[in-house]
Amino acid sequence: MKPIHTLLVLSASLFAVTAFAAAPADQVGVAAKPIAGAEIILDGTREMLDEKWTYWEGPRFSSSLPIKWKIVDDPVDGGTCVMTDDRAADGGKYGTADIVTKKPYRDFRLHIEFLISKPGGNSGVYLQNRFEIQVLDGDKSKHGMGAVINETESPYHAYNGVGKWNAYDIVFRAARFRDGKLVEKPLVTMYFNGEKVHVNQTINKVWGGPNSGVDGGNDNGFGITDSPQGLKLQCEGHDVRYRNAWIKELILDEAETDF
């Protein structure tokens, strides 16, 4: 029989493994298949793009339907993918031709894959059309690749690089309100190419102003409102491609997003 102190150490170790167990390898990373109950929102076809997405008609919007983003060849694995191609956004004019899901979401689990074709390629994945997870080749700052923009450092080491597919796996918990007042800030946990890089990260505001996303113009971005919103993908006139995006709605009563 093991000494009591040894059993206690083993029990503590087991608890730590259980509490912080990684997500199953086949559920995160490039080519991860949808989990049970997930909705596919981007499959590389024109039909799904038009069915489930539209333009975000924010204050800077200057494009027009139908969506001008192109369906192009997947340069790595064959098949097709969606390219952030709309000339209204040339020169980095975000907000002019961003696309957003027609369906709004509150709490959710998201998987999405992206490929940057050329150095310096720039886009972004916006949770609830508010909170940007940066897609930006070459930038290792808090404004850079994989960062919860301006809230965390960039986990650039996990990036596969230009011309290769990358994957974000995210659990997001929306802000909570009581009597119309913000009482709990949004939280996010994220895997980047299968590596856990953000855990229960608090998001303090909408960054980038009114052209960036919903509530960006409210109280300098701190005026988050109590409304579900769509997932948004940013167009800045660069060749950034997306594929294999799926999302599962959740109800996260507790302030916990780790998975």
Question: Does residue 243 sit within a domain?
Answer: yes
Q: What is the pLDDT of residue 19?
A: 36
Q: What is the pLDDT of residue 7?
A: 40
Question: Does residue 245 sit within a domain?
Answer: yes
Question: Does residue 257 sit within a domain?
Answer: no
Question: Does residue 14 sit within a domain?
Answer: no
Integer Rg of the chain from CA: 19
Q: How many domains does the chain fold into? A: 1
Contacts of 94 (CB under 8 A, 6+ apart): 60, 124, 208, 211, 212, 234, 235, 236
Of the two residues 25 and 259, the one the predictor is more confident about is 259
**What confidence tens digit (pLDDT) does each residue in 86-126 have?**
999 999 999 999 999 999 999 999 999 999 999 999 999 99
Question: Does residue 16 sit within a domain?
Answer: no
Q: What's the CATH number where 239 sits?
A: 2.60.120.560
70 pLDDT exceeds 80? yes
Question: Does residue 13 sit within a domain?
Answer: no
User: Is there a cis peptide before residue 66, judged by omega within 30 degrees of 0?
Assistant: yes
| Residues forming a β-bridge with 39 | 247
Q: What is the pLDDT of residue 3?
A: 47
Confidence tier at 169 by pLDDT (50, 70, 90) = very high
Q: What is the mean pLDDT of residues 129-157?
A: 98
Alpha-carbon separation of residue 247 from 39, 46, 93, 170, 195 (angstroms): 5, 19, 27, 9, 19
28: exposed, middle or buried (Cβ count in 10 Å: 0-12, 13-18, 19+): buried
Q: What is the pLDDT of residue 25?
A: 80
Q: What is the pLDDT of residue 84?
A: 96
Q: What is the mean pLDDT of residues 18-35?
A: 79
Cβ–Cβ < 8 Å for 206, 214: yes
The residue among 83, 53, 64, 47 whose CA lies nearest residue 232 is 53
Q: What is the pLDDT of residue 133?
A: 98
The 8-class DSSP code of residue 180 comes to T
Domain span at residue 79?
23-250
Q: How many CB atoms lie within 10 A of CB 214?
A: 23
Q: Which residue has the tokens 């390219």?
A: 83
Alpha-carbon separation of residue 29 from 95, 106, 113 (angstroms): 28, 23, 8
The 8-class DSSP code of residue 184 comes to E
Question: Does residue 131 sit within a domain?
Answer: yes
**What confidence tens digit (pLDDT) does each residue in 33-66 have?**
999 999 999 999 999 999 999 999 999 999 999 9
**What confidence tens digit (pLDDT) does each residue in 203-237 have?**
999 999 999 999 999 999 999 999 999 999 999 99
Confidence tier at 24 by pLDDT (50, 70, 90) = confident
Tell me what the pLDDT averaged over the chain comes to: 92
Q: What is the mean pLDDT of residues 8-20?
A: 36
Distance CA 132, CA 148 (A): 6
Confidence tier at 22 by pLDDT (50, 70, 90) = low
Question: Does residue 259 sit within a domain?
Answer: no
Q: Count of residues for the chain?
A: 259
Q: Cα-flanking dihedrals φ and ψ of residue 201, to 5°?
A: -75, 125
